[in-house]
Structure 1
Amino acid sequence: MTHFRFLVAESETLEAREVRRASVGRSSGESYLDTLRALSPDAALDLVRPAEDGAEIPDSAGLDGYDAVFLTGSPLHVYEDSLDVRRQLDFMRAVFASGTPAFGSCAGLQVATAAAGGTVRANRRGYEAGFARRITRTSAGGGHPLLAGRPEAYDAPAIHSDEVDRLPDGALALAGNRVTAVQAAEIRYGQGVFWGVQYHPELPLAEIAAALRRQADELMEAGLAHDEGEVEAYAGRVEALHHDPSRRDAAWQLGLDAQVVDPALRSIELRNFVEHLVGPIRGRRGRG
């Protein structure tokens, strides 16, 4: 059996990428690559930046050579009519046309939604920062394999100010919470199928802590913290859990359980996607 071939599509602009690298040493796409290496050590991994002018982008035939495409999070606002957004949406439509299964986190879910005819908006309830709390399955999500192994209610790393407003026709909302109605979804469009989440199963907790620090001004403006000291104290506890998941004090202070603290449970949607969607489709394509 040949190994999987995965493509990671990063939608960060050059400026956003450099800001993130200064914070954590790598871009969102590079973080995704590291997570996928741990998940599938034998997979062949490529990175593409479809939002950038002049980027070399596989066409539908080229995309067909991959077993899966992964869309990263980013500061991209897909409801803004910009060249970056248009390029990203065109790329996602090509992924759908190729029939290659795709997975997306945060902005990745929003891109897939807009590419297939749904809508995205600024979150009317403001920031969901640090962790999405009490995510619960919908009736459609109750037996969906994307969420296999998740309890009926769970928390997950998240930091975003946009949300899916309306899913495309025929899409399934699989989970949501009080802040964001669509936390997980399945989208079928053209020849393709996409599974995605509004949260970040791909990120280590240290990168969540770094994101909170980078966005301290926005968090204070949103009323989630009074000053930078409060943001730093919160981020410090998150970072402490990254370095030592057995820190019961930090987990208790943050109100987190194993669904977030345990790296294997935190990334379960990625494993479910590979095992329950990518593998079977690969078999039907005759690649197994």
Structure 2
Amino acid sequence: MRSSHPPLRFLVAESETQQAREKRRESVGRSSGETYLDILHRLVPDAACDRIQPADTDAALPPGLSLTGYDAVLLTGSPLHLYEETPETRRTVAFMRAVFASGTPAFGSCAGLQVATVAAGGSVRPNARRLEAGFARRITPTGEGRAHPLLAGRPAAYDAPAIHTDEVEALPPGATLLAGNRLTAVQAAEIRFDGGVFWGVQYHPEIGLDEVAGALRRQADSLVEAGLARDGEDVEAYAWQVDGLHADPTRRDLAWRLGLDEQVTDERLRQTEMRNFVEALGRGRPLAVDS
């Protein structure tokens, strides 16, 4: 891709705290940023990729580089609650405002969408209905979403890996809602602010099914408290099936028990939004709906 142009340069912004990064590595062997880096290297093998932890006090870009030196910034998921005033949330939101101001295109999943929302003047809240855990079901593109390149290739309704306790309450002025479902009104959106553009989703196109199983195990107590499981054994039984489908995506029996189709079991389809974002960059297109 882009053989006649310099390799793409990506900056992965990993807004997990150090404690959350370590907990995730213990669970699935990699932090959220490391998951992003792995997929980016598979999508664009010759890409140059850097990583920054904007929630950390010592976060800094590599020497000699600025945000304008990147083709795109990608924001990972995170357990940060953006409606809480903490040093970590303030630093992360300030970083995203700098990304918008730089004009560098950005993409984000889960908390990444929430960070961009707050940075541009919208709001985030705890889930209003209930915890969306494991998979977001029957995500439906809006009219604008059906025409938007972020969701190109997605069917009229689809499922995707998801686990989040917070959601976008109100998109910022000028944002475009691209998809939603029964539990979460904002599942995908485009946000334009201060000269920058962001494409984001509330779900996780970047994670593998093993990471879904790991997230379920890490949040087992919350799932029981929310009434989604009777006890830890229930959570483990469900996670075990998800792990089994990760090990063998052709297991039709497990896909049937979990109510999943190829939009989740097929890695290429599962990563649709990330692939669409990277391909838009590679074609040199502005990140906007064609007029």
- Normalised to the residue count of structure 2, the TM-score between the two structures is 0.94
Q: Does 1:250 align with 2:254?
A: yes
Aligned identity (percent) is 68
1:261-276 aligned within 5 A: 261-276=265-280
Q: Does 1:101 align with 2:105?
A: yes
Superimposed CA distance per residue, residues 132-151 of structure 1 (whole angstroms, 9 cap, x where no aligned partner): 00000112112111000000
1:11-26 aligned within 5 A: 11-26=15-30
What is the CA–CA distance in structure 1 between the aligned matches of 2:192 and 2:281, rounded to whole Å?
A: 13
Listed as ranges, the gaps of 5+ residues in structure 2 are none
**What secondary structure is seen at the aligned counterpart in 2 of 1:124?**
coil
Q: Does 1:44 align with 2:82?
A: no
Listed as ranges, the gaps of 5+ residues in structure 1 are 284-288
Equivalent position of 1:124 in the other structure: 128
Equivalent position of 1:92 in the other structure: 96
What is the CA–CA distance in structure 2 between the aligned matches of 1:195 and 1:58, rounded to whole Å?
A: 24
1:176-255 aligned within 5 A: 176-255=180-259
Q: Which amino acid aligns with 2:28?
A: V
Considering only aligned residues, what root-mean-square deviation do their CA atoms show, in Å?
1.5
Q: Which amino acid aligns with 1:223?
A: G
> Are the aligned partners of 2:80 and 2:89 in contact in 1 as well (CA < 8 Å)?
yes
Superimposed CA distance per residue, residues 205-244 of structure 1 (whole angstroms, 9 cap, x where no aligned partner): 1001000011100000000000111111111111111111
Aligned length: 282
**Structure 1 residues 58, 278: CA separation in 2 closer, same or farther (over 3 Å shift)?**
farther
What is the CA–CA distance in structure 1 between the aligned matches of 2:96 and 2:285, rounded to whole Å?
A: 18
Equivalent position of 1:68 in the other structure: 72
Equivalent position of 2:8 in the other structure: 4
Superimposed CA distance per residue, residues 231-258 of structure 1 (whole angstroms, 9 cap, x where no aligned partner): 1111111111111110001100000000
Equivalent position of 1:27 in the other structure: 31
Q: Which amino acid aligns with 1:15?
A: Q
- Normalised to the residue count of structure 1, the TM-score between the two structures is 0.95
User: Deviating runs (4+, > 4 A) in structure 1?
Assistant: none
> Are the aligned partners of 2:174 and 2:191 in contact in 1 as well (CA < 8 Å)?
yes
